[in-house]
Every structure is written in C-alpha cells, then in structure tokens.
Amino acid sequence: MLAEGRDALLNKGVVSNVRFALANAECLPFASANFDCVTIAFGLRNVTDKAAALRSMRRVLKPGGQLLILEFSHPKVPGLKPIYDAYSFGVLPLLGKLVANDSESYRYLAESIRRFPTQESLLEMMHEAGFEQCSFHNLSGGIVALHRGYVL
C-alpha cells in the first residue's frame, strides 16, 4: 500500500516533500515533537496495543499538533445496529466469497469492528495518552467516527 500511495503521489507530482516509512504504530521511529499532524484511517483497529500506539502518536506530535483517527465504530442511530450486523456478518462475508473467494477476511473485518472500542472509550483512551480537547464526530450514524485530539 505504501508503494501504491507513493506512486499515486508521484503521478500527481506531489512527492517532493513526502517520505514514506513502514513503521510499528506502537513505537513510531521518529523524533519526539516532530509532526504537526498524525492521521490513521481504518488502521488503529488492527493495532494490538492501542494505548501504546496512542502514546507513541502523542510523543511525535509538536505542541499545537493534532491526531485524527478515522475508524469503523458503533452505530448510534436507533434501529441501525441490527441492520448493520446483518450486513456485516451475513452479506459482507458472502460478497467476499463471491468477489474475492475470501469470506474469512471479510468475517475478520466485521469481528474486528465489533471488538473496537466505542466512540466514548476511544475518547477516554486518547485522554489517558495525554491528548487534550478530544472530541469525536459520528459519520453514517456512527458506523464510522472521526476522533480528534490535540497536544497543547
């Protein structure tokens, strides 16, 4: 995926100031207070020690920096959860089998989403990691949420 992203940026002429690195989110190999923003999209769910990753992300941010986490979350709209569960555990694995001949990866996706902390729990984890002014915004009725925290 890094190569794909690099190639896409190269094709658009954007790569002049971008470096790519494959790194463990739990112990980022960058100097402290080095970045203005850290983003992770649909990846924190797959990190084993989420608290360590959040602390590592906090460490590499400069004062005034922000963390943005976009991740699957927990539906909040009344009546949406049973529909979403039926889709996630029934339709999605079936589509995975039909399209990619891989129902298990899509079953894992649904299970990993259900095991991910709630919006409020992730917010608390961010506070515990040292982020301030933390907030989240639900998208698609809470199926996805965007969390934000700052280093002040």
Residue whose pair of structure tokens reads 């001949």 in the numeric block: 101
pLDDT tens-digit series, residues 54-66:
999 999 999 999 9
Residue whose pair of structure tokens reads 């112990």 in the numeric block: 27
CA–CA distance, 146 with 1 (Å, rounded to integer):
22
Domain 2-74+116-150 CATH assignment equals 3.40.50.150 = yes
CA–CA distance, 31 with 121 (Å, rounded to integer):
28
Q: Which residues pair with 76 in a beta bridge?
A: none
Judged against a pLDDT cut of 90, whether residue 19 lies above it is answered with no
What pLDDT was estimated at residue 133?
98
pTM: 0.91
Judged against a pLDDT cut of 80, whether residue 16 lies above it is answered with no
Report domain extents, the chain.
2-74+116-150
Cβ(56)–Cβ(27) below 8 Å = yes
Query: Which runs of consecutive H residues, i.e. helices, occur in the chain?
Result: 2-11, 50-60, 80-86, 92-100, 103-115, 119-128
pLDDT over 90 for what percent of the chain?
87
Q: Taking residues 101-130, report their average pLDDT.
A: 96
CA–CA distance, 141 with 152 (Å, rounded to integer):
30
Q: How many CA atoms lie within 13 A of 143 on its CB side?
A: 12
